[in-house]
Amino acid sequence: MAVRLIVVGAGSRGAVYAGWVRAHPEAARIVAVAEPRAAHREQLARDHDLPADAVVADWRELVDRPRFADGVVIATPDVLHAEPAIAFAELGYHVLLEKPMAPNADDCRRIVAAVERHGVMLAVGHVLRYTRYTERIKAIIGAGRIGEIASVAHLEPVGYWHQAHSFVRGNWRDQARSAPMLLAKSSHDLDWIRYVVGEPCVQVSSFGSLQHFHAGARPAGAADRCLDCAVEPSCAYSAVKIYLGRVRTGYTGWPVDVLTSDLTETGVTEALRTGPYGRCVYACDNDVVDHQVVAMQFASGATATFTMTGFTRQRDRETRIFGTRGELYGDGSTIEVHDFLTDRTETIRTDVALDGTEHAAAGHSGGDARLIARFVAAIATGDRTQILSGPAESLESHLMVFAAEQARRDGRVVDVVP
């Protein structure tokens, strides 16, 4: 029988998971949605043929009822994760919770305590764990091909326009209203590093700042909105270039579709004239960092460094893993493994399946689909190992993030206390 799921928050992420369910009716079906935005709520209701009483504006209306589904996908904004996660866990629902679990350690601990107390499964949206690329890296390390890990150097190249879109003009620009950069964007990375190293992180230090996207870096003659700006043609972060430039080539996917539901040139121009995404990047109400580094010490003495920077072209994360018998480099799709004994390098393409066929992997290199597929399989079979991050490990990687942010703010080394 298909696993019954509720979607709480039918925004971008809720739609991704619901889309997978729609494409796999034999495995799962959506039985209710909670979403305050009428257009998004009705779209999901139509796509999944939901009866009127299963379509509500707020998740609280669903927890007033006895349990009527197997699991819940919680894809609300970061600050609205803990309460629904705990409420649904208390009713016995298995929970797929978008990352970050919550913006503070106390709420993360409360979520983990609730799922453990009620014996339900928790899958946090750490989609990078679920990609074929990561699976191969774990297998290479697990087979001992590079020996013991001594150090890891991991780069998250956010991309200059993605930084401007999400972290200067957009929803994740303001720490108080969303989360620090490390939690909003890089909780994936610290979690991934912890997963790859395969042991607890014990200490962290960190540095980083908002170097560029503030009034002090504003070019002479810049206007508050790109549509009115005389120096717009010479600005790499121009909203005209980033959004209208794409619309004019016929592209209306992310990030353009975040601005408005009217995806014509007129609609997007209007959004740039009146909405947050048309603002000068040097005249926004943003405070999250545009670059940050974290140094990590693991239980065995292995170390890792992480660099997040907005000042890159758009591309995938890159990692170097230095082991006692070999060295591994990965760029998100291709892995190079160099063996010290033979001094040979093997190159492995992870966008090619083992039978040699190429596969296009959408959504975090296939991680989105594999996460929801495994969550559904875990519910269907009761096999918790389908979920690649248990509650304790998810909590641990969030605690790494909070400790690193504290280390940056205080300018000191911070212990990661479980």
Ligand X SMILES: NC(=O)c1ccc[n+]([C@@H]2O[C@H](COP(=O)([O-])OP(=O)(O)OC[C@H]3O[C@@H](n4cnc5c(N)ncnc54)[C@H](O)[C@@H]3O)[C@@H](O)[C@H]2O)c1
Residue 77 touching ligand X (CB under 6 A): yes
Please list, in sequence order, all residues whose beta carbon lies within 8 angstroms of the beta carbon of residue 299, skipping any fewer than 6 positions away: 199, 200, 201, 202
Helix (H), strand (E) at residue 123: strand 122-124
Report the C-alpha dihedral over residues 64, 69, 75, 76, rounded to 10 degrees. -10
How many residues sit close enough to ligand X to count as binding (CB under 6 A)?
24
For the sheet with 122-124, list strands across it. Answer: 55-56, 28-34, 3-8, 71-74, 94-97, 122-124
Residue (of 132, 249, 127) closest to 191 by Cα position: 127
Instruction: Write the DSSP symbol of residue 279.
Output: B
Q: Which stretch binds ligand X (CB under 6 A): 32-40, 203-211, 286-294, 377-385?
A: 32-40
**Cβ(207)–Cβ(293) below 8 Å:** yes
Residue nearest to ligand X (CB): 11
Residue 45 touching ligand X (CB under 6 A): no
Which CB sits closer to ligand X, 165 or 212? 165
CA distance 26 to 81: 29
Q: Which of 17, 59, 167, 192 binds ligand X (CB under 6 A)?
A: 59
CA distance 49 to 34: 14
Q: Which of 32, 34, 108, 289 binds ligand X (CB under 6 A)?
A: 34
Residue 40 touching ligand X (CB under 6 A): yes
Instruction: Write the DSSP symbol of residue 270.
Output: H
Restricted to residues 356-395, the positions that interact with ligand X (CB under 6 A) are: 364
Which CB sits closer to ligand X, 212 or 374? 374
Instruction: Verify cis geometry, omega within 30 degrees of 0, for the bond prior to 100.
Output: yes
Q: Which of 23, 46, 58, 117 binds ligand X (CB under 6 A)?
A: 58
Which CB sits closer to ligand X, 10 or 407? 10
Q: Which stretch binds ligand X (CB under 6 A): 28-36, 238-246, 285-293, 398-406?
A: 28-36
Whole-number minimum distance, CB 9 to ligand X, in Å? 3
Whole-number minimum distance, CB 36 to ligand X, in Å? 5
Which CB sits closer to ligand X, 41 or 94? 41
Which CB sits closer to ligand X, 16 or 235? 16
CA distance 189 to 263: 32
Residue 125 touching ligand X (CB under 6 A): yes
Q: Which of 6, 44, 69, 76 binds ligand X (CB under 6 A)?
A: 76
Residues that bind ligand X (CB under 6 A): 8-14, 34-37, 40, 58-59, 75-78, 80, 98-99, 125, 127, 364
